[in-house]
Structure 1
Amino acid sequence: MRKRYTRSESGRLVESALVFTQEDHHIDTGDLDHDAVKVVRRLQQHGYEAYIVGGAVRDLLLGKHPKDFDVSSSATPTQIRRLFRNSRVIGKRFRLVHILFRDKVLEVSTFRSQEAAGFKNVYGTLEEDVRRRDFTANALFYNPRDNTVIDFVSGLQHIRKRVLRPVIPLDRIFVEDPVRIIRAIKYSVTGGLRLPWLVRRRIHRDRPLLADVPSSRMTEELFKILNSGHAAPIIDHLLRYNALQHLTPRPAELARTNSEYRRKLIARLSLLDAKRRDSGAMERKDLLVSFAADYLLEFGAFDDQKRIPFRDGYFAFKDFLFPVTPANREVEGALREIFRNKGRLLREEPPEDTDADGTSAGGRPRRRRGGRRRGGRVPAARGDGSDPATSGT
């Protein structure tokens, strides 16, 4: 382990961070994304600071195999764009660069200043940027050039203690961005990181702020959860914290008042998690099938109908998801799958000894089969992605 020093305002050298070597952090370089390493090296070769950051470093330290890698650099978006032809600048409130590869998109951000309130484009130094990170587990910087981890906030120690501690003061962290409430719960579940009591209390106090989050961000958060491979435990914890009511109010209220619906929802999501782990990332329509099938077929307005008019099912689906707003074609595609596989979906259920993560006592999800297919054939749906409310379906 080494130490990193910076100069104070008076010009004195002061210790600012710990630098952990391979012998300290034990990150397996074979788990690194080669394109992310190339991006970091090119930026460094042109005189910029650059590191792999965020969830990828956290997951590597937890012994996981991250799929998504983010990079942070001292280069501005314009400078990054000049170095990578296969890139584009996105965002208005806070500009980022997406570097496009055949099978992935790498996100590169510029170090943010502590003066960058909210999402403003005020760039700063590495030392300032770390103070803008949400939790210490996400505030670690990995340098693939010398295989070191730079730690300003005791993040590595907190990961080893399996605790999720905030970097930003508690009275600001969720006020500045309420979506951090959802992410705190998600990180806690997926990383096995304990939420300290003060953080849990702040979540309970600030969760009403989620009501003001734009629907587009809520939509992205829901799909990230459903596609995480840990949807069942995350949704279960969101229900425990009464936070799901601000993400998707209708299923949250139904789960609160109907224990059988809650049980079936978590069981369905456990099956989704097993499929996600076996097959990789899934299409959004397939994620929506798992999230909404039980409501539409058994607990919604059509639970006693053999035939559901497609138009009525569509609007019921949209109402169930509100304020989450997937594309019309994704809702239509999910609805067609639910209608087409109604019998299988009604029979599909994990065994009683399924654990919270969706695995059975033998370690692999199982499925109960049998029974006759119920319900009649439904009218054909449009497949062009148009809104059935205006298409005359």
Structure 2
Amino acid sequence: MTAPEPRLRVIALRVRTCYNICIVLKRYYRDDKGKPSIRALIYEKSDHCIDRSAIDRDAVKICSRLNSRGFEAYIVGGAVRDLLLNRTPKDFDIATSASPNQVKKLFRNSRIIGKRFRLVHIYFHDGKIHEVATFRAPESGDRNHVYGTFYQDVTRRDFSLNALYYSPSEEVIIDFVGGVEDIRRRIVRSVLPLDTSFTEDPVRMLRAVKYAAITGMRIAPQVGRKIRKQAPLLASASVSRLSEELHKILKSGNSEVIMRLMHRYHLLQPLLPRIEEILLSGGEKLREAFFLSLAEMDQQMLTAELSRGRMLQFLTAPVMEATGVWKVPELEVSDLQVPDYFNVVQELKNLLKPLVQPNRDVEEAVKWMFRERGLKMPRKRSRFAEENRSGRNSRPHYRHARKFRENG
């Protein structure tokens, strides 16, 4: 484990922000060659106005204990961003110079998780979990996990609004990349080179859109142009990862705005190609119905947590209407005129391809659709009824199984 870089000259600098003129400190760190060439802006409490009482007490205690043992420890990422925007953070993640094993020795209530990316989860009695990560080097990737220095960890962050480090002991924000000023200017700007950022990890394009939607910021023009150009790369990400990203979008409470931005930046097509195809061919009325359904879901999530199946119903109901799946063929019209349940389930799965959602969630979504259309849920057919319908029971081994079942 590398020792923390010594802090060098600290000087006062008069900086003009978007709001006023304030005194901001500069702090210099040594680079890989030992030269004091790395500059960070230090925002004191009078500049950032973050009230320490707004920070989770257990997160502060974790940082304090690590500091007392000689390690660097900071609250990082989304928590600092949200505090600067006067929002309540959902999580307080911590970055430290201590290795996972060193962190675990300091906290009995902790556990090392992950094989490739070794993190430490620290558990508390109220069910709360704080995640502690060791500084990582830029070359750290999927197959190799390389620990690094404080500054190296900064350069791995995707966007400047997430590359801020708050020290609870000093009550200062350390900013190497101009993230505070970007937040004040309300702009999403990339820290990584745009020539490689989205090719290395296409999901970063989704994150840029999510950050812009959730914070009300605008995406920097050069970032927006690159997203539109490289949007098809999103389809190369793993299905499991994209499926989980969709779930995060739906439960964010900002799904309507996120999906509108995804549509604008051509990201909906690689994520949900069938839905995007129907939206483009269905005209403005269908697109607005799609977004209004998501807006209704966001509104309901203000007062209650929705299940995965319920969220899928809000996502797909307007588009399912356009597929014609609810039309009952004249030759198969029953007295109740109920569409085939299994056809509706299959159509919903087709809409979500290539993403895969658990069967129970898809079936729950279809049940909500039946309920909202005032249709009675058909009785679930048995496996043997399905096989009879498909003709598979004509095979000898199926016939024997059917006779055995009928004879008890």
TM-aligned CA deviation for residue 381 of structure 1: 5.6
Of the candidates 157, 166, 178, which is equivalent to residue 190 of structure 2? 166
TM-aligned CA deviation for residue 138 of structure 1: 0.5
Which structure 2 residue ranges, 5 or more long, are not aligned? Answer: 1-23, 329-336, 390-408
TM-aligned CA deviation for residue 132 of structure 1: 0.3
For the pair 1:336 / 2:360, whether they are aligned, the reply is no
Which structure 1 residue ranges, 5 or more long, are not aligned? Answer: 344-373, 383-388
TM-aligned CA deviation for residue 95 of structure 1: 2.5
Distance 1:60 1:380, change over 3 A: farther
Of the candidates 234, 239, 246, which is equivalent to residue 258 of structure 2? 234
Instruction: State the partner residue of 2:226.
Output: 202
Instruction: State the partner residue of 1:261.
Output: 286
Once residues 339 and 120 of structure 2 are traced to their aligned partners in structure 1, the CA distance between those partners, rounded to angstroms, is 45
> Could you tell which deviates more after superposition, 146-155 or 90-99?
90-99
For the pair 1:22 / 2:22, whether they are aligned, the reply is no
For the pair 1:319 / 2:342, whether they are aligned, the reply is no
Give CA deviations for 1:29-82 in whole Å, capped at 9, x if unaligned.
Answer: 343233333332333333322111111111111111121222211122233333
Amino acid at match of 1:264: A
Instruction: State the partner residue of 2:215.
Output: 191
> Could you tell which deviates more after superposition, 75-84 or 180-189?
75-84
Instruction: State the partner residue of 1:79.
Output: 102
Instruction: State the partner residue of 1:276.
Output: 301
Once residues 258 and 266 of structure 2 are traced to their aligned partners in structure 1, the CA distance between those partners, rounded to angstroms, is 12
Give 3-state SS (helix, strand or coil) of 2:26's partner. Answer: strand
For the pair 1:45 / 2:76, whether they are aligned, the reply is no
Instruction: State the partner residue of 2:27.
Output: 4
Alignment TM-score, normalising by the size of structure 1: 0.82
CA contact (8 A) 2:31 2:38 kept: no
> Could you tell which deviates more after superposition, 52-61 or 122-131?
52-61
Give 3-state SS (helix, strand or coil) of 1:278's partner. Answer: coil
Give 3-state SS (helix, strand or coil) of 2:156's partner. Answer: coil
Once residues 183 and 32 of structure 1 are traced to their aligned partners in structure 2, the CA distance between those partners, rounded to angstroms, is 24
> Could you tell which deviates more after superposition, 302-311 or 284-293?
302-311
What is the aligned-residue identity percentage? 43
Amino acid at match of 1:333: E
Alignment TM-score, normalising by the size of structure 2: 0.80
Instruction: State the partner residue of 1:348.
Output: none
Instruction: State the partner residue of 2:396.
Output: none
Once residues 193 and 128 of structure 1 are traced to their aligned partners in structure 2, the CA distance between those partners, rounded to angstroms, is 26
TM-aligned CA deviation for residue 228 of structure 1: 1.1
Once residues 198 and 341 of structure 2 are traced to their aligned partners in structure 1, the CA distance between those partners, rounded to angstroms, is 40
Amino acid at match of 1:146: E
For the pair 1:148 / 2:179, whether they are aligned, the reply is no
| RMSD of equivalent CA atoms | 2.5
Distance 1:81 1:199, change over 3 A: same
Give 3-state SS (helix, strand or coil) of 1:64's partner. Answer: coil
Aligned residues: 353
Distance 1:122 1:316, change over 3 A: same
Which structure has the bigger radius of gyration? 2
Matches within 5 A, 1:282-361: 282-296=306-320, 298-305=321-328, 306-340=337-371, 342-343=372-373
Give CA deviations for 1:326-358 in whole Å, capped at 9, x if unaligned.
Answer: 222222222223323x13xxxxxxxxxxxxxxx
Distance 1:299 1:10, change over 3 A: closer
Once residues 325 and 36 of structure 1 are traced to their aligned partners in structure 2, the CA distance between those partners, rounded to angstroms, is 36
Once residues 333 and 103 of structure 1 are traced to their aligned partners in structure 2, the CA distance between those partners, rounded to angstroms, is 28
Distance 1:18 1:190, change over 3 A: same
Give 3-state SS (helix, strand or coil) of 1:277's partner. Answer: coil
